């Protein structure tokens, strides 16, 4: 049976204090995965609203709406959510508390939380009410819209085949070294090199230089582009940045099988392509909400900088899928209000 998480609202504070009410989590909601924590209050001159989950500070809101995004994870335990509203120059504190119920051993829950990376043009910050999401033609309920991306894994997939000679490979590695500072403190970075063979991901620690880690690597061999991109696990939010000349002569996976592996709900594929084109990369980027940029050797670092800046400014829409079947699920994102336009969004994903 589908589990129902019951929330109990217990308010605290003095009898003459301001009221504090939860808008999320709501009674009957599922406190699992990404979920906004939001309260409303009639307190005047609010200075700060602190939000705690299981006794630990989860975030702070200083202006209306008093809301933060929090990932409750996949555990089905009960959670205690507490807020403290400081007002009147911090002299008054009003509180409220929500307790969510744990699932019993006989209850089963299926949760498909889908993350949709998108680029939006708008005059003000986007809220869930500004967008409409349909999956396979059925409108979905948006759980949250993140204006800033959370911690992510960045995997740089670099072509080292013979066609990357003439300084292309060296310039690609130097460009990554020069732009790693664009990643944020909680991000991780790794590099995969490929020709006809695909290397395992090599984690890059803070302060390391890729050129030093890998040494002098002469371009050689064939190209297994599809195999390289499809080899990346995506258990967390993952941005795959491919630098290649676009050819593929040696992959064991065909285009459809490779696309199926990478079109998950947490992977976005972007690419810088030198010279030739790649229908595989074009489809991979379109499916996952990424972009493909044609570059020459002298433009790699400039375009990589622009790409990482774009990734840092993208929105992420989170919804819980109502679908139960496997296979391809098409996603359509539309604006609900004038003044909002969707520049790029994930086109769908494969559900196993």
Tell me the pLDDT tens digit for each residue of 238-259: 999 999 997 899 999 999 999 9
The helix or strand, by DSSP H or E, that contains position 211, with its residue range, turns out to be helix 210-214
Nearest Cα neighbor of 265 from 146, 71, 114 is 114
- Tell whether the model's pLDDT for residue 11 goes beyond 70: no
pLDDT (mean) for 39-58: 93
pLDDT, position 4: 38
Q: What is the mean pLDDT of the chain?
A: 85
What does the alpha-carbon distance between residue 146 and residue 87 come to, in Å, rounded to a whole number? 27
- Tell whether the model's pLDDT for residue 309 goes beyond 80: yes
- Tell whether the model's pLDDT for residue 264 goes beyond 90: no
Neighbours of 316 (CB within 10 A): 22
Q: Name the least confident of 70-79, 147-156, 176-185.
A: 70-79
Nearest Cα neighbor of 115 from 180, 181, 69 is 69
Q: Name the least confident of 42-46, 123-127, 141-145.
A: 123-127
pLDDT, position 1: 38
- Tell whether the model's pLDDT for residue 5 goes beyond 70: no
Nearest Cα neighbor of 267 from 243, 242, 287 is 287
What does the alpha-carbon distance between residue 153 and residue 183 come to, in Å, rounded to a whole number? 10
Q: Name the least confident of 90-99, 107-116, 229-238.
A: 107-116
pLDDT (mean) for 301-320: 89
Pick the more confident residue, 7 or 44: 44
What does the alpha-carbon distance between residue 52 and residue 33 come to, in Å, rounded to a whole number? 16
pLDDT, position 2: 40
pLDDT, position 76: 66
Give percent of the chain with pLDDT exceeding 70. 89
Residue in this structure with the two tokens 């909680």, named with its chain if needed? 186
Q: Which residues contact 244 (CB under 8 A, 6 or more apart)?
A: 157, 158, 159, 164, 223, 225, 271, 272, 273, 274, 278, 281
pLDDT, position 61: 92
- Tell whether the model's pLDDT for residue 26 goes beyond 70: no
345 — pLDDT class (breaks 50, 70, 90): confident
pLDDT, position 350: 84
- Tell whether the model's pLDDT for residue 193 goes beyond 80: yes
ω into 65 cis (within 30 of 0): yes
Per-residue pLDDT of 81-99, as tens digits, reads 999 999 999 999 999 998 8
Which conformational region is residue 96 in: left (phi greater than 0), alpha (psi within -120 to 50 degrees), or beta? Answer: beta
Strands across the sheet containing 46-53: 7-11, 92-100, 79-87, 46-53, 56-61
Q: Are 266 and 237 in contact (CB under 8 A)?
A: yes
CA distances from 97 to 55, 59, 85, 340 (A): 11, 15, 12, 36
53 — pLDDT class (breaks 50, 70, 90): very high
The helix or strand, by DSSP H or E, that contains position 311, with its residue range, turns out to be helix 300-312
pLDDT, position 28: 56
Buried b / exposed e over 231-267, threshold 16 CB at 10 Å, is bbebeebbbbbbbbbbbbebbebeeeebbbbbbbbbb
pTM above 0.75, yes or no: no
53 is written with which tokens?
A: 């989950």
Pick the more confident residue, 75 or 340: 340
Q: Are 154 and 188 in contact (CB under 8 A)?
A: yes
Q: Name the least confident of 8-17, 154-163, 277-286.
A: 8-17
- Tell whether the model's pLDDT for residue 12 goes beyond 50: no
Q: Are 105 and 303 in contact (CB under 8 A)?
A: no
What does the alpha-carbon distance between residue 336 and residue 329 come to, in Å, rounded to a whole number? 22
- Tell whether the model's pLDDT for residue 166 goes beyond 60: yes
pLDDT, position 81: 93
pLDDT (mean) for 14-34: 71
pLDDT, position 204: 92
Q: What are phi and psi of 298, to 5 degrees?
A: -75, -5
Q: Which residues contact 271 (CB under 8 A, 6 or more apart)?
A: 241, 242, 243, 244, 278, 281, 284, 285, 290, 291, 292, 293
- Tell whether the model's pLDDT for residue 202 goes beyond 80: yes
């Amino acid at each position: 049976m589908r589990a129902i998480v019951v929330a109990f609202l217990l308010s605290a504070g003095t009898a003459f204090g301001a009221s504090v009410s939860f808008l999320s989590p709501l009674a009957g909601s599922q406190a699992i995965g990404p979920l906004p924590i939001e309260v409303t209050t009639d307190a005047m001159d609010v200075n700060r609203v602190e939000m705690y989950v299981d006794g630990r500070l989860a975030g702070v809101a200083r202006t209306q709406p008093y809301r933060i995004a929090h990932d409750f994870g996949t555990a089905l335990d009960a959670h205690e959510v507490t807020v403290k509203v400081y007002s009147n120059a911090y002299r008054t504190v009003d509180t409220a508390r929500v307790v969510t119920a744990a699932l019993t051993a006989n209850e089963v829950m299926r949760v498909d939380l889908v993350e949709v990376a998108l680029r939006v043009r708008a005059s003000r910050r986007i809220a869930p009410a500004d967008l409409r999401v349909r999956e396979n033609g059925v409108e979905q309920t948006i759980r949250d819209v993140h204006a800033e991306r959370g911690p992510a894994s960045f995997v740089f997939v670099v072509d080292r085949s013979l066609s990357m000679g003439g300084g292309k490979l060296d310039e690609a590695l130097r460009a990554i070294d020069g732009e790693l500072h664009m990643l944020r403190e909680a991000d991780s970075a790794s590099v995969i090199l490929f020709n006809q063979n695909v290397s395992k991901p090599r984690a890059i620690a803070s302060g390391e230089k890729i050129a030093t880690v890998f040494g002098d690597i002469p371009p050689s061999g064939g190209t297994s582009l599809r195999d390289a991109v499809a080899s990346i696990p995506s258990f967390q939010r993952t941005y795959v940045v491919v630098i290649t000349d676009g050819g593929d002569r040696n992959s064991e996976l065909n285009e459809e099988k490779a696309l199926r592996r990478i079109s998950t709900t947490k992977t976005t594929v972007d690419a810088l392509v030198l010279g030739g084109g790649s229908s595989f990369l074009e489809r991979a980027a379109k499916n996952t909400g990424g972009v493909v940029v044609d570059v020459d050797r002298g433009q790699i670092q400039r375009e990589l900088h622009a790409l990482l800046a774009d990734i840092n400014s993208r929105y992420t829409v989170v919804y819980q899928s109502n679908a139960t079947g496997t296979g391809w699920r098409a996603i359509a994102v539309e604006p609900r209000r004038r003044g909002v336009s969707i520049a790029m969004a994930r086109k769908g994903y494969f559900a196993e």
